[in-house]
Amino acid sequence: MDPNEDKAKARRAFRLDLLKLFIDKIALGAVVVLFGFLANKWFEKYKFRLSEQRFFMEQRLESIKKIQTAYTVMFHKFDNYTLRGYSRPVDYQARYDSAVDGYTRALDEHGTLLSPQTLERMDYQGWLFQNFKYQDVAAQASYRNFFYDLYREFYLQAKVELGVIPDTARHPVEFDEWSHAKADSLGAQAFFDANFEKWKQRRDAMAGNF
């Protein structure tokens, strides 16, 4: 066999091996670059989702703060004006009515980001307080315990909405769920009576277990 031919074959084989190695490195580099590109795109999307979630959480927190402020004003008007011996201002009923309207307005303006369940429960709260816009609120002292549980229910639901506590906690009030059409048809007093009776039966049942 010609030694020169053997050398030529060896050189060709060596070059072929180099070419294969070069191609393998290019392929590996391309895979690494592609992986890095995809990983970067995924990370950017992940950061965007986190940023978006944080934005909506901050907006939801701000919404609840505004609704909570209006609710607290409304509740304390009821609490003060139904307290026996409390020196009420002459226009206490108008002040109470204004506080109820303020809560309704806050819920309308800032309730968009709330979950449907939370919005519904906070809406029911407003309906119950609205019932005494048509009556003398100062004469409703017998409902103070019920309204105190409504107050506790509001703050519990706010914590559930913000993810502070799970929605497995026992709610102080379980609302009798009415549609707007039913409430409009039967009226505020009927809605109030149904929910007060439900609360009272639940309270009595719990008391009987002790």
Q: What are phi and psi of 180, to 5 degrees?
A: -60, -35
CA distance 143 to 137: 10
Query: Per residue in 174-200, pLDDT tens?
Result: 999 999 899 999 999 999 999 999 999
Query: Per residue in 14-56, pLDDT tens?
Result: 677 767 777 877 877 777 777 776 666 665 665 556 555 566 6
**60 closest CA partner among 104, 115, 97:** 115
The pTM for the full model equals 0.74
